[in-house]
Structure 1
Amino acid sequence: MNKRILIIDDEQDIREATQLCLEILGEWEVLSASSGKEGLVTAAAEQPDAILLDVMMPEMDGLTTFERLQDNPLTQNIPVILLTAKTQPAERRRFTQLHVAGVITKPYDPFTLADEITQALTS
């Protein structure tokens, strides 16, 4: 049985490209959500093995979405990997303090993304 991952990102192109990379190169079953609100519902209903979460989204940003995932007993144990273009040292420290499974910087290399996710989930 394939591992299941939920991509929460407001940009359709990123969701589609990431889904293709993970299905082909990582053999993941990919679920997707276009907003934090939709992602919270999908995560609770589908119980994926991991979540890829965009940090910068309108309405509910990724950090608020992460906090809500952590507050819900149904989703608090799902590992979350942040996808972000924010790479300043202060931001990186903040992400580390959140106890996320990992942080992947955009733009990412589609050919190494599946390996980066695996590494984040096993370290």
Structure 2
Amino acid sequence: MDVRVLVADDEEDIRALVCLAVAKAGCTVTDAVADGSTALATARTELPDFVVLDVSMPGATGLEVCTALRADPATAGIRILLLSAGASLDDVARGLAAGADAYLAKPFGVAALVHQVRALTARQPA
């Protein structure tokens, strides 16, 4: 089954890198957006299988988007990977408390991101 992925990051180069890693992991990027408000609206209408969210975005933060997705029964089951320059244990704890399935600190390597995407999408029901 093809895993559909929404990518949200306000930095164009990071969005491109994430899209590359998602493709390398064997998934399909359905949308790549630059702000949290668009990410939330897109997730609610497109219902992707997986969302990669930057924590610091305009419109709504990745944490806010994550919390909103988890609170909505229609989107609660979407797997979520948060990306952030904040790498402290508190940052990671906040991300996981917001409902993220995983948290990856920036800067990250493409191989690490591919591994995370594969690990999270392996739970996709056949």
What TM-score bracket applies, with the shorter chain setting the length? 0.7 to 0.9
Report the alpha carbon displacement of residue 59 of structure 1 after superposing the two structures with TM: 3.0
| 1:28 alignment counterpart | 27
Cα distance in 1 between the residues matched to 2:43 and 2:113? 21
Cα distance in 2 between the residues matched to 1:96 and 1:84? 12
Report the alpha carbon displacement of residue 77 of structure 1 after superposing the two structures with TM: 1.4
| 2:45 alignment counterpart | 45
Cα distance in 2 between the residues matched to 1:49 and 1:55? 19
| 1:64 alignment counterpart | 64
User: Conserved in 1, the CA contact under 8 Å of 2:6 and 2:51?
Assistant: yes
Q: In 2 relative to 1, CA 59–45 (structure 1 residues): closer, same or farther, beyond 3 Å?
A: closer
User: Conserved in 2, the CA contact under 8 Å of 1:51 and 1:81?
Assistant: yes
User: Conserved in 2, the CA contact under 8 Å of 1:102 and 1:121?
Assistant: no
Report the alpha carbon displacement of residue 66 of structure 1 after superposing the two structures with TM: 1.4
Cα distance in 2 between the residues matched to 1:13 and 1:34? 11
List runs of 5+ in structure 2 lacking aligned partners: none
Which letter does structure 2 place at the counterpart of 1:17?
L
Q: Normalising by structure 2, what TM-score?
A: 0.85
Which letter does structure 1 place at the counterpart of 2:95?
F
Q: In 2 relative to 1, CA 19–104 (structure 1 residues): closer, same or farther, beyond 3 Å?
A: same
CA RMSD of superposed structures (Å): 1.8
Cα distance in 1 between the residues matched to 2:16 and 2:27? 13
Which letter does structure 2 place at the counterpart of 1:107?
P
Residues 1-123 of structure 1 aligned to structure 2 (within 5 Å):
1-23=1-23, 25-30=24-29, 31-121=31-121
Report the alpha carbon displacement of residue 71 of structure 1 after superposing the two structures with TM: 2.6
List runs of 5+ in structure 1 lacking aligned partners: none
Report the count of equivalent residues.
Answer: 122
Cα distance in 2 between the residues matched to 1:57 and 1:115? 24
User: Conserved in 2, the CA contact under 8 Å of 1:101 and 1:121?
Assistant: no
